[in-house]
Amino acid sequence: MTVPTLTLNNGVTMPALGFGVFQTPPAETRIAVAEALRVGYRHIDTAAAYGNERGVGEAIQASGLARSDVFIETKIWINDYGYDETLHSFTKSAGKLGVEQIDLLILHQPLPSAFERTLGAYRALETLLADGKVRAIGISNFMPEHLERFLPEIKIVPAVNQIEVHPYFRQPELQVVNKKHGILTQAWAPIGGITFYRPGFSRSTLEDPTILNIATAHGKSAAQVMLRWGVQEGRSVIPKSVKPARIAENFDIFDFTLTSDQLAAIDALDTNERGGPVPDNITLEAFSREIPEA
């Protein structure tokens, strides 16, 4: 099965469906990514702060796939913000991944409390892009107010903004701002995983009656319906799992189509309840994490 691709604002293409490894322990990462590649995923999303880039790289190398067949995305952590620090962070990530070029390199957080360091970090991404070390650059968890402050200060518009998007937290205003600037919205927690492993949510998206009714109509699971919703609305989606059956299930979303009414019904579930941390609360003081050398 060929996964449809999305074309980024610099012409680079990326599979619409990727495989995420957030919170996957290093020892399990290699096994999970190997299984994902076996099933057919060709886009892997990791991050320096996840501590599992090495496992991702080992799985890709062991897969026998050509380097050009796998789209690798990773993120710079806030401890490595600043121009020179971010250039070095690329070297650390590339070393752990075992590659010379990273397909998509993004800033993990806006870090508004250290905005000059954020700008320095992004300018380093621009340099890495110009030097051919990365094929596309982007950001993550940037809200409209961060973009308003950030975009006038940079030369290259980010290709991607990776943000929390699931039926209970759609961030429609932010998606509109992304689109206006030619930035692709990439959804983390696209099946609302955060609603069933973080306290505070009254119900898991997997148990939502509206989603389950749509799933029954198509002979699919709730997770498959949510991923299909994301893809049909033009987002990049990066579900995560370490269970082989779930990895395969999440990949099997291209043999059905949701109606416009079904898409609208899922859109209407939005409670505007954020599951992840408020981006402005991410500070070096509270979230410092040293990223080891390669």
Q: What amino acid positions are annotated as catalytic residues?
A: 50
Residue 166 carries which DSSP code?
A: B
CB 205 within 8 A of CB 154: no
The candidate with the shortest Cα–Cα distance to 147, out of 110, 173, 185, 106, is: 110
Q: Which residue has the tokens 């469906």?
A: 17
Question: Residue 17 half-sphere exposure, CB side, CA atoms within 13 Å?
Answer: 28
> In residues, how long is the chain?
294
Residue 221 carries which DSSP code?
A: -
Token pair of 228, please? 């299909």
Q: Using only the alpha carbons of the chain, give its radius of gyration.
A: 18
Burial of 272 (0-12, 13-18, 19+ CB in 10 A): exposed
The candidate with the shortest Cα–Cα distance to 162, out of 137, 141, 136, 192, is: 141
